[in-house]
Amino acid sequence: MSYLIKPSEYKPLLDVRQTEKAIKQVKDFFELNLSSELGLRRVTAPLFVKRGTGINDDLNGIERPVAFPMKDLNEEVAEVVHSLAKWKRLMLAQLGIEAGYGLYTDMNAIRPDEDLGNLHSLYVDQWDWERVITDEQRTIDFLKYTVRKIYAAIKRTEMYVYELYPEILPSLPEEITFMHTEQMLAEHPEMTSKEREDFYSEKYGAIFVIGIGGRLANGEKHDGRAPDYDDWSTESGNGTKGLNGDIVVWNALLNRSYELSSMGIRVSPESLATQLEIEKCTERKELMFHSLLLNGKLPLSIGGGIGQSRLCMFFLKKAHIGEIQSSIWPERMISDCKAANIPLL
């Protein structure tokens, strides 16, 4: 179901022409800083992959990919990617990238099952990145170290926007705060997982929520995560599990938590086997990607996705992602946005 938040007396700080220019400035600056912080080289990415290879991202496991038959390939079916979480790991192996270095790419996807609103569109654009790590780096400390480097690039970009457009004031805290989903649950069991993210992101301004995908002490998941890319079953310290998480900030304009990035240390052969068992999908072991990983043919890695339109929307203080990207919206949402002074592209 579509849902629209309409900030009272909303007025964009930049007009449409200024916004189009600022989008390019933000993307170019952040991309340069991200690649510098993490030691990444840019590569070209596919828009679609073959069905049945196990390469496409399953997201929460229920979303339908856009698919089509290919005439010159005997009507084999291709799927438009949901993300490139697994494809990137194949590329690390193909390019022979060493530990400490990695790659990033512009990922464009279509997600027809999204609930459309201020933050969600049918069209998804993000920087997908992946970096080779050693076995010794598969720790919560290294995860936090990487998060801080990404947050440094985010903070630097926020200040860059302020220098270009002084009317857009910075709002992020100097440091990001780390919260584990079990800790959040223990402190506020009366809240839903979304309410806990709202509470802590408003309290601290920017948080990294650790441990997404596995079941918590109350038997529920904080949020869904596919079993075959992030590692959410390995113990990460203090009796808690999870070597993955989300970068979440407080969006004062929309008065809610706001996810900028989903990332994590990727599954090892051992944790992949464990998570496929937990989610009762061991048949995936026979797929090309999973077989390569289980047989030790792919490097250990850390990686994630950072929303391009989502990041621009936050930095430019926009109320709707449709002010950053051109997409398709329900007629009711278009008319409601117009009435609320939200100019969709």
H or E element, residue 240: strand 240-241
**Of 244, 202, 205, which is closest to residue 222 (Cα–Cα)?**
244
Residue corresponding to tokens 């849902």: 3
How would you write the pLDDT of the chain (345 residues) with one tens digit per residue?
567 899 999 999 999 999 999 999 999 999 999 999 999 999 999 999 898 888 887 666 667 888 999 999 999 999 998 888 889 999 999 999 999 999 999 999 888 888 899 999 999 999 999 999 999 999 999 999 999 999 999 999 999 999 999 999 999 999 999 999 999 999 999 999 999 999 999 999 999 999 999 999 999 999 988 899 899 999 887 778 999 999 999 999 999 999 999 999 999 999 999 999 999 999 999 999 999 999 999 999 999 999 999 999 999 999 999 999 999 999 999 999 999 999 999
User: Domain boundaries in the chain?
Assistant: 16-339
User: Is there a contact between 116 and 122 (Cβ–Cβ < 8 Å)?
Assistant: yes
User: What fold, for 16-339?
Assistant: BirA Bifunctional Protein; domain 2 (3.30.930)
**Of 34, 57, 112, which is closest to residue 308 (Cα–Cα)?**
34
User: Is there a contact between 272 and 93 (Cβ–Cβ < 8 Å)?
Assistant: no
CA distance 238 to 1: 39
Residues 6+ apart with CB under 8 A from 16: 343, 345
CA distance 148 to 84: 23
Q: DSSP per residue over 160-213, as a string?
A: HHHHH-TTS-----SSPEEEEHHHHHHH-TTS-HHHHHHHHHHHHSEEEEE--S
CA distance 24 to 160: 13
pTM: 0.93
Identity of the residue numbered 238: N
What are the residue numbers of the active site?
57, 111, 126, 246, 259, 262
